[in-house]
Amino acid sequence: MATYILRISSPDEKGLIYRVTKILFEGRLNIVGNDEFVDDQGRHFFMRTEFAGDCRPEELQAQLKAALPAAHIELDRPRRRAVVVLATSEPHCLGDLLLRHAYGELRAQIRAVVSNRPDLESLVRRFELPFHFVASEGLSREAHEAALLGVVQGYSPEYLVLAKYMRILTPALVGRYPYRIVNIHHSFLPAFVGASPYRQAYARGVKIIGATAHFVDEQLDEGPIIAQSVIPVDHTHSAGDMAQAGRDVEKVVLARALKLVFEGRVFVSGNRTIIFD
């Protein structure tokens, strides 16, 4: 029996849940999971429903659209998402994703890894995946991204994952993948910007180390947040200890964020997210 994921985003009004569930019931479809939320401030309704049964997706979507004409409706099967990973030289996030991918834990198909440095090629080759070095040195951002896109588009990814990719993307590139680029960074921003954030944090005597995964938009490091976490540190931790702790939390947060996104559990609402976990 086939399983489907239905995602609905709509201006709020009475009877929305009834209209949706009525159509599923009349189609002899079995709801196996359901979440809904109303943003009272924006008066907007969000719904994620998993159901099982035999249906014609195009016909079902047309029925739902007729019943909810103002809604944005997505209907899909659970599947592995096509992904291209961008990285630079830090191996911890990329290595964790490659390992999860190798053991079927990522809910994605990594089609290639693309980097502006050659450092990580041997790591990627161990997992028998394509690696592309697209040099950025001496090129403008626009020229480098043109070369980058020439490689990336050949793999037709649904999502780009920035696994410590140390380049700022232009609005033109971001616009090609709206809310389909996921980035990970330490959660010191905006406190410790620039080089050596962990050395700065050590000097300041911080008590927690954190990481944030977010969608990339045109504002640097300000896209809608998907997942965050922190771990405690104290005066016994050196700057190196803090950096290692930061790497540990970064890879866990990135994997968590990707799981939520690939399972269709994340809705973007303005500059925030609605997440059914």
The reported pLDDT for the residue numbered 197 is: 81
Q: Predicted confidence band at 187 (pLDDT cuts at 50, 70, 90)?
A: confident
What DSSP letter does each residue of 174-227 carry, written as one string? Answer: HHHSTT-EEEEEETTTTTS-SS-HHHHHHHHT-SEEEEEEEE--SSTT-SPEEE
| pLDDT-above-90 percentage for the chain | 84
Average pLDDT, integer, range 119-143: 95
Residue 194 confidence (pLDDT): 65
pLDDT digits (tens, 9 = 90+) for 146-170: 999 999 999 999 999 999 999 989 9
pLDDT, tens digit (0-9, with 9 covering 90-100), for 202-237: 898 999 988 999 999 887 667 999 999 999 999 999
Structure tokens at 10: 């709509």
User: Rounded mean pLDDT of the chain?
Assistant: 94
Catalytic pick from 39, 221, 241, 248? Answer: 221
Is the pTM for the entire model greater than 0.75?
yes
* Equal CATH topology for 3-76 and 81-275: no
Strand order in the sheet with 108-115: 131-133, 108-115, 81-87, 159-162, 181-186, 208-215, 225-232
Q: Quick one: CATH architecture of 81-275?
A: 3-Layer(aba) Sandwich (3.40)
Q: What Å distances lie between residue 207 and 30, 153, 200, 201, 253, CA to CA?
A: 48, 42, 13, 9, 19
Give me the percent of the chain exceeding a pLDDT of 70: 97
Averaged over 28-53, what is the pLDDT? 96
**According to the model, what pLDDT value does residue 27 have?**
96
Note if 217 is an active site residue: no
The pLDDT of 125-146, averaged and rounded, is: 94
Domain with residues 3-76, CATH architecture: 2-Layer Sandwich (3.30)
- The ranges assigned to domains in the chain are 3-76, 81-275
Give me the pLDDT at residue 169, please.
92
Alpha carbons 162 and 157: distance in angstroms, whole number: 13
Instruction: Provide the pLDDT for residue 97.
Output: 98
